[in-house]
C-alpha cells in the first residue's frame, strides 16, 4: 500500500466546535472554583474555633454528649443543677482569676505603626457591614454574589459560539445544582467541614464558627445561585428556540425539545414562586411548589439530556443527608400553651434539658385544628436549665409559666407573635381553650388566671438550627438590640451570658462586665410579653454586685408609638422611653467614656458633696423623648399633646438622644475589652445596626475599644 504521508491538519479556525467535549471542561473549571472559595472561608474560622475548643476543654464535661442530635430531655431531673446562694465563686474556673484588662495592656504596648495598620484593616473590614436599603444584603454579601455571577458568566461565554451552539449555558446551569442544594440544606455537610466544639449543653456542630455556616446565613447564596441557574437555562433555551425558528424546525414534538421546554417551564415556576411576596404572604404555597417542582425538574432534565445525571447525584446526596439528620432531630412532645394576650402565645415544652445553644430556633408543628401539616420557625428564648436564670426557683417569680422552675424539669420556652394565619389561629385556639378550662366569671382575678392558664398540646420539634456567631463571653461589653418579637433571640443570649457569668461563676473564662439590653416595642402592653423573664434575669444579675467582678445589666425599653403609659413591671435597672431610638447613638453612647474621665478635673471645694444616684430603681423610669419621625399612633392628637406635657424631660428636648444614655446606668470598664453587638428583628433594624457598627469602625473607635463583633438575625422569610 502506497504511503500517502501525514494527513493534513485542519486549522483551528476551520474546526467545528464540539460542545459535548469542550463544555464539560468548563463545568469542571466552575466546579473547582466555588469549592476553593468555600474552603478559604472555612479556614478563616479555624482560629476562633481553636479558642472555643480550648475554652470548652477546660470544663469538666466539655466533650460529653458530642454525638447527640436534637433536643435532649431528662424526665428525672438529674440534669438540673441548682446554684445555692453564696455558692458563686468570684474566681474563674479552677480558681484562676479572670483577667479582662490584658488586652488593653497589649494594645498599649504595640508600636504606632502596627496600630495604624490595624486601624486601617479594621476600617477596611467594616465596609462589609454596610447594608443598602431594599436588597437585604450587606456589602460583603454583595461582593460574594457579584463574584459568583461573574464566574458563572465567564464560564458561559468564554470561547463559546453561543449564537450557533448554546449548549454551554445549559452545561453551566447543570453544574450549579450542587451548590444550589448545598446552600439550601438545613443540615448542610458544611457543618462537617467546619470546625466544631461540642459541649454538654449544646447540640452537635453548635460552635460560633459552625453557626456561621448555618442555613440561615447561607440561604441568600441559595437564592442567587438559583437565579443564575435560571439565567443559564433561559439563555440556553431561548437561543435554541431562536435557531429552530430560523431554520424552520419544530420546537415541540421530539423528546429532547419537548422535555427541554418542560424543564425550563418547571424552573420558571420555581423562580416565580420563590419571590419575596410569595414567601411572605403564601409561605405554604411556596413550600408546596418547592417540594413538588424540584423532583419534576430532575425528571424532565434527565429526559432532556444524558449529561444531566452526574450533576443530579450530589444534590440528591445533600438532600438525603438533610432528611436523615432531620429524622434524627425530630421530637414529639407534650407542651403547654399560654396566651399572654391577643398578640403573643408562649409555648413551654417541659423536661428538655440540653441540645440547643442560645439564639437557636426550632421548627414547631402544633397538632391543633387540622393544622398538623404546618411547621414554623420559633426562636428558643431561654438557655439550657443548667445555665438559665429562669430555672432558678425564687419566691418572687411572677412568670406567666409556673413550670419554669425545676418542678417540671425546666424546658424550652418559645414565643409566637401573631403575624400570620397560623400564629393567629394558635393564639385563638389557646385563648378559647383556656377560657373553657378556667371558666372565668369576668372578675379581674379570673381574667388574670385566664391570661396565665396553661393549655396542653402535642407538638413536634425539628431542630435546633442557626445560632449566634459570637461568643459573648469573649467581650467585656455587650449590646443586645431587638425589635418586637425579635427579643426572643436577644433574650436567649441575655439569659445565657448572665447565667454563665453569675450562676456558673465564669467557669468558662467569661470576661463580660456590662450588658445593655435594648428592646423596641410599639405599645406598653407589649412589655408584658417577656417582662417576667427580664425581671428574673435582672434579679440574678443584681446578685453579683457584691462579687469582685460583678456583671452590670441595664435594660432600655423604647416605645415607638405615642400611646398612654400603662403599668410597667418593676424590672431592676430598667428605663422605659417613648421614642424611636437610633442604634448608632445608643452604640456611640455605650463606647464613649463618661465626661468625668475626659474633662479636666474641677477645683475641689470643701463644701462640695456628692450624692450617688441609685443604679437599680424599684420602678422603671418613663421618659418622653420626641423623635424626628414618630410612628403612627392609634391615639388622637390631643392625647399625644398630653403625653408630651406629662413626659417631657427637662432641658433640650430637640436632641433625640436625650434620656437614652445607658452609660449613666452602666459603669465604665475602659478600652480594649471589645464590644459584641447582636441585633434581631425586622430587616430595617438589623440593617441600621450593621450600618452603625460599620460607621463606628470607620471612625476608628472599633480598634480603640478592642474590636467590635456583629451578629444580626432578621425575622422574615
Report how far residue 351's alpha carbon sits from residue 80's, in angstroms, rounded to the nearest whole number: 10
Q: Which of 388, 586, 390 is nearest to 480 (CA)?
A: 586
| pLDDT at residue number 293 | 94
How many Cα atoms within 13 Å fall on the side-chain side of residue 40? 7
CATH T-level topology, domain 62-82+331-438+446-467: Elongation Factor Tu (Ef-tu); domain 3 (2.40.30)
| pLDDT at residue number 640 | 39
Asked whether 183 and 219 are in contact (CB, 8 A), the reply is yes
Report how far residue 40's alpha carbon sits from residue 141's, in angstroms, rounded to the nearest whole number: 15
Q: Which of 228, 238, 247, 262 is nearest to 162 (CA)?
A: 238
Task: Please give the backbone phi and psi of residue 641, each rounded to the nearest 5 degrees, phi first.
Answer: -65, -35
Low-confidence ranges of the chain (pLDDT < 50): 58-67, 78, 80, 82-110, 195-206, 393-397, 402-408, 601-618, 626-659
Q: Which of 476, 688, 680 is nearest to 590 (CA)?
A: 476
How many Cα atoms within 13 Å fall on the side-chain side of residue 576? 28
| pLDDT at residue number 181 | 95
**Would you state the cell numbers that stand for residue 584, as one nine-digit string?**
448608632
pLDDT digits (tens, 9 = 90+) for 422-471: 999 999 999 998 888 766 555 555 555 555 678 999 999 998 998 898 88
CATH T-level topology, domain 469-592+618-717: Rossmann fold (3.40.50)
Asked whether 467 and 197 are in contact (CB, 8 A), the reply is no
CA geometry: angle 63, 66, 68, nearest 5 deg: 150
Q: Which of 257, 397, 414 is nearest to 350 (CA)?
A: 414
Report how far residue 484's alpha carbon sits from residue 318's, in angstroms, rounded to the nearest whole number: 35
Same fold, 62-82+331-438+446-467 and 469-592+618-717: no
Type and span of the H or E element at 102: helix 102-109
Report how far residue 463's alpha carbon sits from residue 186's, in angstroms, rounded to the nearest whole number: 9
Task: Please give the backbone phi and psi of residue 667, each rounded to the nearest 5 degrees, phi first.
Answer: -70, 150
What secondary structure does DSSP assign to 400-429, as a single string?
S-GGGSGGGT--EEEEEES-SHHHHHHHHH
pLDDT digits (tens, 9 = 90+) for 579-623: 888 999 999 888 888 765 555 544 444 333 333 333 444 455 565
Task: Please give the backbone phi and psi of residue 389, each rounded to the nearest 5 degrees, phi first.
Answer: -75, -20
| pLDDT at residue number 70 | 80
Report how far residue 98's alpha carbon sits from residue 552's, in angstroms, rounded to the nearest whole number: 16
Asked whether 465 and 218 are in contact (CB, 8 A), the reply is no
| pLDDT at residue number 349 | 92
The pTM of this model reads: 0.82
| pLDDT at residue number 42 | 83
Its sign, for the CA torsion 410, 411, 417, 421, is negative
Q: Is 679 helix (H, G, I), strand (E, B) or coil?
A: strand
pLDDT digits (tens, 9 = 90+) for 18-56: 889 999 999 999 999 999 999 888 887 777 667 666 665
- The beta strand positions in 430-563, using DSSP E, are 455-466, 477-483, 514-521, 552-559
Report how far residue 297's alpha carbon sits from residue 264's, in angstroms, rounded to the nearest whole number: 8
Type and span of the H or E element at 149: helix 139-157
Asked whether 654 and 685 are in contact (CB, 8 A), the reply is no
- How do the domains of the chain map onto residue ranges? 16-45+130-327, 62-82+331-438+446-467, 469-592+618-717
Asked whether 198 and 204 are in contact (CB, 8 A), the reply is yes
| pLDDT at residue number 653 | 30
Query: Which residue matches cell numbers 391543633?
Result: 368
Report how far residue 353's alpha carbon sits from residue 409's, in angstroms, rounded to the nearest whole number: 7
Q: Which of 594, 510, 592, 493 is nearest to 547 (CA)?
A: 510
Amino acid at each position: 500500500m502506497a504511503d500517502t504521508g501525514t494527513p493534513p491538519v485542519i486549522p483551528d479556525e476551520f474546526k467545528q466546535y464540539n460542545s459535548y467535549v469542550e463544555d464539560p471542561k468548563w463545568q469542571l473549571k466552575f466546579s473547582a472554583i466555588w469549592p476553593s472559595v468555600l474552603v478559604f472561608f472555612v479556614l478563616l474560622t479555624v482560629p476562633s474555633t481553636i479558642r472555643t475548643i480550648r475554652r470548652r476543654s477546660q470544663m469538666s464535661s466539655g466533650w460529653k454528649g458530642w454525638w447527640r442530635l436534637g433536643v435532649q430531655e431528662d424526665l428525672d431531673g438529674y440534669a438540673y443543677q441548682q446554684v445555692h446562694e453564696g455558692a458563686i465563686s468570684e474566681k474563674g474556673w479552677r480558681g484562676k482569676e479572670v483577667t479582662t484588662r490584658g488586652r488593653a495592656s497589649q494594645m498599649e504596648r504595640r508600636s504606632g505603626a502596627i496600630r495604624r495598620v490595624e486601624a486601617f484593616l479594621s476600617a477596611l473590614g467594616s465596609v462589609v457591614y454596610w447594608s443598602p436599603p431594599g436588597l437585604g444584603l450587606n456589602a460583603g454579601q454583595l461582593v460574594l454574589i457579584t463574584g459568583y455571577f461573574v464566574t458563572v458568566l465567564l464560564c458561559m461565554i468564554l470561547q463559546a459560539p453561543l449564537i450557533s451552539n448554546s449548549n454551554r449555558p445549559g452545561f453551566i446551569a447543570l453544574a450549579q445544582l450542587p451548590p444550589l442544594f448545598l446552600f439550601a440544606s438545613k443540615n448542610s455537610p458544611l457543618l462537617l467541614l467546619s470546625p466544631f466544639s461540642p459541649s454538654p449543653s449544646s447540640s452537635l456542630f453548635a460552635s460560633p464558627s459552625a453557626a456561621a455556616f448555618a442555613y440561615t446565613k447561607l440561604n441568600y447564596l441559595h437564592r442567587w445561585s438559583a437565579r443564575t441557574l435560571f439565567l443559564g437555562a433561559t439563555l440556553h433555551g431561548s437561543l435554541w428556540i431562536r435557531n429552530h425558528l430560523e431554520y424552520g424546525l419544530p420546537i415541540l414534538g421530539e423528546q429532547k425539545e419537548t422535555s427541554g421546554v418542560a424543564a425550563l417551564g418547571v424552573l420558571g415556576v420555581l423562580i416565580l414562586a420563590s419571590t419575596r411576596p410569595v414567601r411572605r404572604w403564601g409561605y405554604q404555597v411556596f413550600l408546596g411548589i418547592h417540594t413538588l417542582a424540584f423532583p419534576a425538574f430532575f425528571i424532565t432534565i434527565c429526559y432532556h439530556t444524558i449529561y444531566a445525571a452526574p450533576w443530579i447525584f450530589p444534590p440528591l446526596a445533600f438532600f438525603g443527608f438533610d432528611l436523615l439528620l432531620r429524622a434524627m432531630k425530630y421530637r414529639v412532645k407534650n407542651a403547654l400553651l399560654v396566651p399572654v394576650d391577643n398578640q403573643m402565645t408562649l409555648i413551654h415544652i417541659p423536661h428538655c434539658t440540653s441540645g440547643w445553644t442560645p439564639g437557636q430556633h426550632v421548627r414547631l408543628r402544633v397538632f391543633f385544628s387540622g393544622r398538623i401539616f404546618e411547621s414554623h420557625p420559633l426562636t428558643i428564648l431561654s438557655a439550657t436549665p443548667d445555665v438559665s436564670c429562669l430555672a432558678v426557683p425564687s419566691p418572687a417569680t411572677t412568670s406567666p409559666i409556673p413550670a419554669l422552675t425545676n418542678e417540671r424539669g425546666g424546658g424550652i420556652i418559645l414565643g409566637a407573635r401573631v403575624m400570620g394565619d397560623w400564629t393567629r389561629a394558635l393564639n385563638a385556639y389557646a385563648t378559647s381553650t383556656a377560657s373553657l378550662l378556667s371558666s372565668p366569671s369576668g372578675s379581674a382575678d379570673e381574667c388574670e388566671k385566664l391570661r396565665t392558664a396553661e393549655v396542653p398540646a402535642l407538638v413536634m420539634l425539628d431542630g435546633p438550627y442557626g445560632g449566634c456567631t459570637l461568643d459573648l463571653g469573649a467581650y467585656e461589653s455587650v449590646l443586645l438590640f431587638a425589635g418586637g418579637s425579635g427579643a426572643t433571640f436577644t433574650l436567649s443570649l441575655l439569659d445565657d451570658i448572665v447565667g454563665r457569668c453569675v450562676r456558673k461563676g465564669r467557669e468558662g473564662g467569661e470576661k463580660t462586665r456590662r450588658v445593655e439590653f435594648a428592646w423596641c416595642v410599639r405599645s406598653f402592653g407589649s412589655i408584658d410579653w417577656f417582662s417576667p423573664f427580664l425581671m428574673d434575669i435582672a434579679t440574678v444579675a443584681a446578685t453579683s454586685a457584691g462579687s469582685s467582678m460583678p456583671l452590670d445589666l441595664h435594660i432600655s425599653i423604647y416605645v415607638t408609638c405615642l400611646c398612654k403609659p400603662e403599668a410597667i413591671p418593676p424590672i431592676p435597672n430598667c428605663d422605659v422611653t417613648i421614642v424611636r431610638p437610633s442604634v448608632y447613638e445608643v452604640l456611640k453612647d455605650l463606647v464613649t467614656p463618661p465626661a468625668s474621665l475626659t474633662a479636666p478635673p474641677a477645683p475641689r471645694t470643701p463644701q462640695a458633696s456628692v450624692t450617688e444616684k441609685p443604679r437599680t430603681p424599684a420602678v422603671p423610669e418613663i421618659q418622653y423623648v420626641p423623635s424626628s419621625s414618630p410612628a403612627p399612633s392609634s391615639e388622637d392628637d390631643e392625647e399625644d399633646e398630653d403625653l408630651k406635657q406629662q413626659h417631657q424631660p427637662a432641658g433640650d428636648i430637640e436632641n433625640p438622644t436625650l434620656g437614652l444614655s445607658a452609660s449613666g446606668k452602666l459603669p465604665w470598664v475602659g478600652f480594649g475589652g471589645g464590644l459584641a453587638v447582636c441585633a434581631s428583628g425586622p430587616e430595617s433594624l438589623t440593617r441600621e445596626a450593621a450600618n452603625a457598627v460599620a460607621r463606628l469602625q470607620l471612625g476608628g473607635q472599633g480598634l480603640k475599644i478592642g474590636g467590635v463583633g456583629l451578629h444580626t438575625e432578621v425575622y422574615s422569610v
